């Protein structure tokens, strides 16, 4: 609007300098997203969430003690965008019209993925859920403090795994579709690569759920390979009964 035009030069300078991240509103959530950019409608995010927290005067204790504060939603959105940028070939967008708003829209190949971000415990997201009910996207993701879980058509991914979003998709689609599995996406199982020579290999394990008396599935990275369901751990309240396969 008028304010954007008044600050156009300053905004362009800050975006070009990498101080601000700009994402555009799209008129349609369809492939290719770039064809539907509304160049006069955009959101601006600071390049560093920690700096944004400091500028907003948010005390560390408010975050560490899970205190409710007014700026939690925008801070969470800024963090999610910061983690998503650079993962996908097409930069994230958002969708907003007179009926509601989708926080972020991702394009992965030809698939369009709606994204909802939640900084608190509230799960209500009427615009997000309405879009899913009307358009039935193959995947819909909610990033929140909650652990991994599926809630109908929505897959909840914990905020600490936002940076691995594309890795999760690539692992499940690399060799085609398979029946839905523990992650909620179509899963293709990949065996561990055979190591020809002894050496030092970094193995990272991401635990999806740690609820007692539930199977715990791990996502493992080994020298660029991704293994889904390569092992599972029977998690019980009695550590002496825990088993790993």
pLDDT in tens, 47-87: 999 999 999 898 888 877 766 777 888 999 999 999 999 99
Residue 188 predicted with pLDDT over 60: no
**DSSP letter at 47?**
S
In the chain, how long is the greatest CA-to-CA distance? Answer: 66
Model pTM greater than 0.85? no
Q: Identify the residue with better confidence: 189 or 173.
A: 173
3-state secondary structure of 225: strand
Backbone angles phi and psi of 170, in degrees to 5: -60, -35
Residue 106 predicted with pLDDT over 60: yes
Q: Identify the residue with better confidence: 180 or 166.
A: 166
Strand pairing report for 154-158 and 203-207: unpaired
Query: Looking at residue 96, what is its pLDDT?
Result: 96
Backbone angles phi and psi of 151, in degrees to 5: -130, 85
Strand pairing report for 111-117 and 141-144: parallel
Query: Looking at residue 3, what is its pLDDT?
Result: 67
Backbone angles phi and psi of 77, in degrees to 5: -60, -40
Residue 44 predicted with pLDDT over 60: yes
Provide the 10 A C-beta neighbour count for residue 176. Answer: 8
- Secondary structure (H, E, C), 111-176: EEEEEEECCCCCCCCHHHHHHHHHHCCCCCEEEECCCCEEECCEEEEEHHHHHHHHHHHHHHHCCC
């Amino acid at each position: 609007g008028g304010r954007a035009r008044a600050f156009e030069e300053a905004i362009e300078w800050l975006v070009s300098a990498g101080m601000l991240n700009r994402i555009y509103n799209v008129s349609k959530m369809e492939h290719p997203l770039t064809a539907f950019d509304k160049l006069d409608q955009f959101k601006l995010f600071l390049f560093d969430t920690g700096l944004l927290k400091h500028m907003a005067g948010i005390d560390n204790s408010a975050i560490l003690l899970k205190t409710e504060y007014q700026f939690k939603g925008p801070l969470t959105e800024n963090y999610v965008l910061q983690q998503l940028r650079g993962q996908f070939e097409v930069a994230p967008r958002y969708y907003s019209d007179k009926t509601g708003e989708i926080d972020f829209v991702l394009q992965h190949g030809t698939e369009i993925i709606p994204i909802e971000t939640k900084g608190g415990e509230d799960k209500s997201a009427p615009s997000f859920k309405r879009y899913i009910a009307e358009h039935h996207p193959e995947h819909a993701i909610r990033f929140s403090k909650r652990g991994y879980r599926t809630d109908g058509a929505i897959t909840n991914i914990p905020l600490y795994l936002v940076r691995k979003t594309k890795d999760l998709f690539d692992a499940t689609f690399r060799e085609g579709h398979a029946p839905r599995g523990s992650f909620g996406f179509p899963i293709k199982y990949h065996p561990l690569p055979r190591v020809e020579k002894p050496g030092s290999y970094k193995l990272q394990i991401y635990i999806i759920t740690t609820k007692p008396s539930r199977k715990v599935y791990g996502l493992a990275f080994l020298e660029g390979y991704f293994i889904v369901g390569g092992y599972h751990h029977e998690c019980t309240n009695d550590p002496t009964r825990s088993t790993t396969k």
